[in-house]
Structure 1
Amino acid sequence: MACGGPTGNSEGNRDLDKGLEAEYKETYTRFEGKPEELEKFLDEHKPSDPAWNTENTDWICVDNSLEDLDRGESDLEKAVEMWIDLLRSGKVVPKRIIEIALDTKCTSGEWMIFRHRREIDEDWKKIAEATVAGKLGYSANVATAYGSVNSKRSNGIGTHLISVHTKSFADEDDVWRIEKELRSMGIDGTLKYKPDIHTWFDIYVGNEFNIRPSIYISQPKK
């Protein structure tokens, strides 16, 4: 995760604690080999196939081989404290959440791509290869067959989420550069971009604050 793991606080809001706890209990199978070894890894870890996933891993992850993944400047602990204060104030609005992210440098986010199980392997392979080659964001991950059923980020039975992570939602040039690259690769359908801080603060569809989880939307050209 871009901002590191959550930190404990004795006065934490119960819903926030549960949201963070669920997020960081998710498990990953990460590609850590050389770029030329990626094809073999992808063949052996297909998101549609539960046979390899004997430990019920939630996600398969690859990293950009050309980028430094260090996120040392971000301060999730401070962001959590500010979020708790905001909850207590009763004035939870989208603008204030974005301000918290900017103040604490917890600005990473993700393009979200939902695919049915019958087409997930092909699209994930494209995105994984492009990520490792340095053409997209700093990392990408896809829900496994197990994770697609058990994650709260699921979008229906038989549907997998691919997340393409960017360094900052505030860097709109980079966000839309990646969107254009995804489109050039043949990734179709509606794409939505969600700040990671919304995930950490449990801002999903139907949240109690009526906040839209995504801040950018890309519609396919007709």
Structure 2
Amino acid sequence: MIETFHLTKRHRAITAVDDLSLTAPDGKVTGFVGPNGSGKTSTMRMLVGLDRPTSGSATIDRRPLREGRRPQHVVGVVLDARSAPEGMKARAHLRWLAAAGRIPDRRADELLEEVGLASAASRTIGALSMGMRQRLGIAAALLGDPGTLILDEPVNGLDPDGVRWLRSLVRRLAAEGRCVLVSSHLMAEMQQTADRVVVIGAGKLLAEFESAIWTSRPRLKTPT
């Protein structure tokens, strides 16, 4: 389970996240929706310990990720598929990450097959398309078989078949009892993917609702 309590992040005069309290439960895909610049990525970075909150807290399974000894087994994260080293080969990159987490090499090979990159495993990351990099990032996120997945705009660069594959994957992972948080600026995409939705704007919570009320979802107002 993901929880934030009065989470706030300020960068000098800019407030990226403003007193945000939300929950993403286990066993569901939670869509994290808002326009670009609404605070989605800043929230995710605090959840995984890359940024410290100005105030408030962000926890996974009721504790900050920094307190865990084997973070790859707690949470898998894709924040920027372009951040992987372009000169490394796809298989070598996954195996390096696996070694860092004391995970067997065979897990990397299994995931390359699962995400559809087995035939591209010997290609350098710089030679992969954006959609293929997204798939590689998802493979990296799954290395430790984590109970929580955090995916930031994962459909970027995917073709229609890739988008359908991703929808199927995240729903299967949630059905296994995992917590899946998927950010997007596209409400229509979340209609086809998420069980529940959290909407933010200008760093503030605007609405939370379950998939059962999609057709009567609340009218959203942008904070002033």
> TM-score, normalization: structure 2?
0.32
Higher relative contact order (CA 8 A, sep 6+): 2
Considering fraction of residues, name the structure with more strand: 2
> TM-score, normalization: structure 1?
0.32
